[in-house]
Amino acid sequence: MQALNTLRWICSSRCYQNANGFGKYIVNILPSSSNAVLNAELTLHNKYITGNRGLCNTTSQLLGRFNANQAVYTNQSRTFSTVLDKCWKCECSIQVVPVFFCPACKVIQAPDDHATYFDIMDCDKAFALDTQKLQRRYLYLQRSLHPDNFSQKTQKEQEYSETQSALVSKAYRTLLKPLSRGIYMLELGGVPVEEGTDIGADQQFLLDIMEINERLEETQSKEEVDNIGFSVEDQLQGLTEKINASFLKGDVSSAKLLIGQMKYFVNIREKVKEKLSEMLV
């Protein structure tokens, strides 16, 4: 009951005016048993928000940030929205997210604004993913949604096929690689990673990166280039494990810092590939 009363309070406009960064404080002061109730209530309330655009923007924004920061990083089963929508052709009610085809008339639908890439690819909202399962899901959806299947259909169906297929491809590419997956998870939590920044990297780390780049640029030895490549892969593996641990703990600041470091090593890995290609010419 305390958790539910707290939720009702934070949903009030008066609370919103004084609630910057207050979501984490609320979770911290509640007992663990109340946290579970509060997270469940927030999930249900967030579903209500996504299905009712008339709800005030301030409440939507507050709960959107709160729910994302507290729940999106845990290795939990997916929660599908109960947003009530209708098929554009037969007007049958549709209550699942994501939706690709009407369950009644089987006609392709428009992309769902409420679906995340994790929903689309049928994955848990977690940093550690089964990439083979991800690939199987991608191939299945692309076979189902490919525009060639709709060449004899209506113009609307052809357009929906193209947009759905493109969205699936983007979701797959984003979730396939640890770096883009981590950046996307931060964005879902309202923590975007800006381009061209060191994301809080310390001085020693930047000096180490500079040294590796200089070694790679100056060497003419394939063996040394290979060694640099092996070392970078080890670093990336270690960072992947640390980032996963940070997300599981809900430590967004640590995850962002580690993802920033990963960006540097991914960049070096690409340079290693380029260097090896040049040596083969």
b/e map 143-170, b = 16+ CB within 10 Å: eebebeebeeeeeebbebbeebbebbee
Total domains, the chain: 3
Q: Is residue 89 located within the same domain as residue 153?
A: yes
pLDDT of residue 77 exceeding 70: no
User: Cβ(70)–Cβ(36) under 8 Å?
Assistant: no
| pLDDT band, residue 85 (cuts 50/70/90) | confident
pLDDT of residue 182 exceeding 70: yes
Residue range 58-86: mean pLDDT, rounded: 46
Residue range 210-218: mean pLDDT, rounded: 96
What pLDDT shows up at residue 84?
Answer: 55
> What CATH number should be reported for the domain holding residue 261?
1.20.1280.20
The residue range of the domain holding 268 is: 203-280
pLDDT of residue 252 exceeding 50: yes
Q: Is residue 211 located within the same domain as residue 159?
A: no
What pLDDT shows up at residue 114?
Answer: 86
What pLDDT shows up at residue 219?
Answer: 94
pLDDT of residue 12 exceeding 90: no
What pLDDT shows up at residue 123?
Answer: 93
What pLDDT shows up at residue 113?
Answer: 86
Instruction: Please identify, among 41, 71, 101, the residue that sits at the C-terminal boundary of a domain.
Output: 71
Asked if residue 211 belongs to a domain, the reply is yes
Q: Is residue 253 located within the same domain as residue 215?
A: yes
What pLDDT shows up at residue 197?
Answer: 54
What pLDDT shows up at residue 201?
Answer: 73
pLDDT in tens, 122-153: 999 999 999 999 999 999 999 999 999 999 99
pLDDT of residue 78 exceeding 70: no
User: Cβ(171)–Cβ(184) under 8 Å?
Assistant: no
Q: Is residue 64 located within the same domain as residue 23?
A: yes
Q: Is residue 264 located within the same domain as residue 241?
A: yes
| pLDDT band, residue 2 (cuts 50/70/90) | very low
**DSSP states of 148-214 as a string?**
GGGTTS-HHHHHHHHHHHHHHHHHHHHHHSHHHHHHHHHHHTT----TT--TT--HHHHHHHHHHHH
